[in-house]
Amino acid sequence: MYHKKFDKEILLKIKELYRYDNWHAVLAILYDYLIIIFSIFLSEQSYWFLPLTILLIGSRQRALATILHEASHSALTKNKKFGQILGTYFSGYLIFQSWNSYCVSHVKNHHPKLGTDSDPDYKYYKDSGIFQTYSRIEFFWRFCVSQILCLKLFRNFKYLRGLGSKII
């Protein structure tokens, strides 16, 4: 297989993207907050906007989880303590996750045991049945409708808080 080397100028530009700073994370969090605030405002204008605002807020909750994830790997900011503060108070708590339980679950229990039955994330998904074969309608009901109707809310909170099956 033929591999062409990248031009040095391109490599330098790529390297710049890997440089940590303390302001990109703040911008990302502010962006997420603005989308959530806009969604709340939009939902108050008419009930017809609710499906859209639910999707928007849900996507920003996922983005806040990514902020927590990056912070837990010390990959969010140049200053690790600042990253921990952003990951804890400005994202983690808003998605019902504490810094300590997330770090124990993700960094200490997930990565070293990735893809095994000892991996808490893999076990959670396996126990939920997501790896089983379903018809399209069964899958849609089990993993979409049941979430929208909050039928698995307690189970999800248990997992997020580290109280699920052997997460900690």
Residue 140 has a pLDDT of: 92
5-15: per-residue pLDDT in tens? 888 888 888 88
Most confident range, picked from 20-34, 96-110, 127-141: 20-34
User: What angle in degrees, to the nearest 10, is found between the helix axes of 24-45 and 80-87?
Assistant: 10
List the alpha helices (DSSP H) in the chain: 8-17, 24-45, 50-72, 80-87, 99-102, 120-128, 136-140, 146-148, 153-160
Distance CA 63, CA 90 (A): 12
pLDDT of 18 above 60: yes
41-50: per-residue pLDDT in tens? 999 999 999 9
pLDDT > 90 in the chain, percent: 50
Residue 25 has a pLDDT of: 97
Distance CA 103, CA 168 (A): 10
Residue 49 has a pLDDT of: 96
Domain ranges of the chain: 1-95, 98-168
In this structure, are residues 31 and 91 in contact, taking their beta carbons and an 8 Å threshold? no
pLDDT of 137 above 70: yes
